[in-house]
Structures are given as structure tokens and as C-alpha cells.
Structure 1
């Protein structure tokens, strides 16, 4: 279903630096999940620059594995699902609604997988950018604390009105930082469903990824985010550091900090579009 016959699994695992076991076990899932989050880059540049993102597997693996580019959740999930399928895992794709503390439900435009192992299911969310570094068991009250200082809790609760579903909370024990990150149901999604959501995110004028570019890179000791021209660095136990950069500085910043390399034409277009964002519109 996920076009794994087109996946170069050796190239994918080499890109991740995974040299361990390939059997479909929880240990393998945890290792591949962590390596994917820390290695495969995340950006929304194609939405911002071209209003088009292709999800066919040959294009996705060329972009994410060979071109030194990043992608967002639909691209990550497409690549990851093909890898898990080829490794022999059983899973269901689902769609989440990114809330980030919002009260009203947002569109279901976040791609994730539920992996079935030994009678349990695991939420494996590798396409958020600042994703959890490990799968989380799909169980009410399940908790995860990772070595980048982030804690998570899954709750089975009313998510839209009285309708039940799942909510992922970040920093659940900190009253000031507790955040309902996203909500979702177990309704199965298929590649065609992701194609519909991807079309909205990549091309609709109301999509936040069309309006401005957003880039993230998570490491165990820091999280860097570039939201248009605002570069934020977060480190565990410290206050975030924010800096406003100029459009012409962005291509080098992407390469040096985010390990994302854009071609000459896209770099020139990116600088031009960011300059338009930086310049206030006339009366």
C-alpha cells in the first residue's frame, strides 16, 4: 500500500546511520523512530516557494535522502511508512489535528502512524519537526520522557465536543508549559487521504505553510526553528534565544544550522520572497 517496492531501504537506513537489527520488533521501531527524527530534515520550503509538494515515494526519497532537503509530516510519513512496511511492521496511518493549545479543532492535517506489536499499539510521530524521540504506547495515561528534556502524556478523552479520541500533551506536569499538542482518532488513513490533506497544506492560500516558510531541527541538546525571518533556539533549562535575520542570510543559515541545502534557483527565489515578507505593504 505504501509503495515500499520503490524504497531503497539500504539507502534509507544508511542515511539514518542505523546498523542494527531489522526485524519488526519494538527495539527496532524505537531505533528507527529516533534516528529518523534526529536525521531526516524538516522544512516547508516547497509549499512557500512553489505551492506544490509531491508525495510519490521516488520524489520523496530523492528529496529527503539524496538532495539534502527537508519536508513536512506528509513527506516524512510517506517515507517512514514505506520503510516500516518493507521491514515487516503492521501499522495504521492516522491524521491528527495540530492544536498547540488552541481550543477550536483545526483541520486533520498531521500524518502519524499507529504500529501494532505484541498486543499493544504505539503512536510513532516522526513528522512534527520537534517530534518525540520515541514511540508512545497508545494507552490512556501513557507517559514518555526523552533525553532532550521533553515529557509527553497520552490521554483518551473528549477531543471535539463530546466525541472521544486521543490527545497528546507536552510537559504535562508543568502548569505553565503544559500544552495539548495534537488530537486524533484511530480512523484509518490511506495514501489517497494523505494526498488530499497534503494538497490543502501545500497550496491553499490559508495554509500557514503557504504564507511563510518554517524550518525546524531537533537535536538532543537543542531545538532550532526558523519561522520566516525569526530564528529561535531552545535548550533544556534555558530561556529561548530569538534573533531576527535578514533575507539574504537565510540560505547560509539553513545550511549551517539546519543542515538543509537548497539549489541556486530556489535560494534566489527564497531570498526574493522573504524580502517581500520583510517589506511592509504600501497604502
Structure 2
């Protein structure tokens, strides 16, 4: 790995926070020891290492905490405390890392589809990145859970890429936006669509507040943890654990409430404080009671 002096680079971007940042600690967190030159190869390797180490999760929200996007809080949570986060947290942190290394990084806002048809108009609520390397733009997203790409995707209409055995396609949607699709066992799945308009930290802050407080937000209503693995992807939604492998139907298992802390620790690498764990178990017990009552009513 190159000398760690790059963590104190004088390069600053108008888009990303210029506060002090411990790049060495971040690289240790994701287990990265490769090159740090701003190349496509470095970008690809960093994205894969980040996804291997940092899970997607909303546990602060469902245990009574707040999601803060300033760099100091992101560094403390995702790096020092070795937690995960959702799109606004992960992509802002990753953008800061890339920016410090000399990459040209631009934010974009996406309209999540999650399987809905591409003509469906949904609100902008997702933060993603566009990184320019050697004159070419690449879609980079480390914050879209276990359906997201594991490597940069060239922003070109009709391009199809394979990340190991996972397949992705980028095309133009019926409303003229870029449409990211993922091939599942049952065909192409629409993830989200996005345009070319600039997107800044202030936009992410606004969307972050909405999705972490609105009562209809899935991140307010559900327990969520996901891991985007190279050969296996894991998703926890409330007390249902899903395992997805390339080309195969998902495998699902209902968890007992008492299993939850061990599953989070062993499958997702997430260890909560005793207070958070207690709050999470109480939340899960309520979910289990509601589910049991619904089954009795059927």
C-alpha cells in the first residue's frame, strides 16, 4: 500500500466535507492493503473491500437513535465502532474516501423502484455516486443493500456487466433516466433510476431526515440488515432471514427473537451496545406478537 500521507492530501472538493479524516483507520476497517492511485483498478478494489466489510443496516433508527451525516459521526460509527449504515451514510463516507485519494466524485439522487416498473414515478430518496476515471463516468454505489452492484458500472446505455456471477444492466428508462437493473433467478429486476442533475450533501441531509423519521418509511417500520457478498447475499427484515445465491431462488427462515443478536453478530458483523440490544429485542418481541396475532386471525 502507498504511504499513508495521502490521508492528509490538500485536495478539497466543493461537494465533500473537508474535515480531518483518518484514512488509515478506514483502510484497516475494510481490510484494504492495495494501491491508492486514483485508477479504475483501485476504485474496483476499494468498492469490493468496502462491501465485504461494511453491512447495510438501519439499527440506530429502530433502537431509538439518530442518523447523522457529518463526517465525524460517520467515521465514528462506520469506522471506529465498526457498524454499518444505509445509502446516505455509506456513500457519503465512501465519496469522502475517494475524494481524498484524488478521484473526481459526483453525487446523484435516485428514485428507488425495488421491482416496480420503470415508468413508475417515485420520489428521489437514494444517494449514489458517479466517479470519473480516465475520462469515463462510472456508477458506484456501496449503499443499496444486497441487490447492488459490487463493482463500478460504466454509465452507457445498454451496457451489461458481470460482477462474479452477479449480473447488472444499465439502460435508459421510459422517462429518460438511467435505469439500473439486476438479473435475478426470475429475470431482470429494476433497482432504481437516476438523472444527471448534480446532487449535494444538503440533498442527502434532507432525504436522510425524511427516510429516518417518516412513519411510512421502511427504515422506520422495519428491522433491516443486509450483506452484499461475492457468492452469497444475506438480508434480514424484521425476523426473516433471506439468503440469495446467483441464479437461485431465495431461501428464507423465520428467526426466534432470542436468535437476533447472534445472527447480527455472526452473519453481519454487527455488535450493538447492551442498551441498543435491549431496545432491539423489545422491538422484535412486539413484531413477533403482532405476527402471531395475525396468524391466529387467519
Which TM-score band (shorter chain)? Answer: over 0.9
TM-score (norm 2): 0.88
Does the Cα contact within 8 Å between 1:129 and 1:218 map onto a contact in 2?
Answer: yes
Given candidates 207, 210, 225, the residue that maps to 1:200 is: 210
Does the Cα contact within 8 Å between 1:96 and 1:111 map onto a contact in 2?
Answer: yes
Given candidates 233, 238, 241, the residue that maps to 1:231 is: 241
**Corresponding residue for 2:42?**
28
Does the Cα contact within 8 Å between 1:93 and 1:113 map onto a contact in 2?
Answer: yes
With over 3 angstroms needed to count, the CA separation of the structure-2 counterparts of 1:9 and 1:123, relative to structure 1, is same
Separation of aligned partners in 2, 1:271 and 1:255: 14
- Cα deviation for residue 42 of structure 1 reads 1.3
With over 3 angstroms needed to count, the CA separation of the structure-2 counterparts of 1:105 and 1:63, relative to structure 1, is same
- Cα deviation for residue 242 of structure 1 reads 1.0
Does the Cα contact within 8 Å between 2:159 and 2:169 map onto a contact in 1?
Answer: yes
- Cα deviation for residue 237 of structure 1 reads 4.4
Give the aligned length: 276
**Corresponding residue for 1:242?**
252
Does the Cα contact within 8 Å between 2:111 and 2:125 map onto a contact in 1?
Answer: yes
Separation of aligned partners in 2, 1:250 and 1:275: 11
Could you list the structure 1 runs, at least 4 aligned residues long, displaced by more than 6 angstroms after superposition. none
Separation of aligned partners in 2, 1:279 and 1:116: 50
Which sections of structure 2, spanning at least 5 residues, go unmatched? Answer: 1-14
Separation of aligned partners in 1, 2:182 and 2:126: 16
RMSD: 1.8
- Cα deviation for residue 119 of structure 1 reads 1.8
Q: How does 1:97-108 map to 2 (within 5 A)?
A: 97-103=111-117, 104-108=120-124
- Cα deviation for residue 31 of structure 1 reads 1.0
TM-score (norm 1): 0.92
Q: Does 1:96 find its partner at 2:110?
A: yes
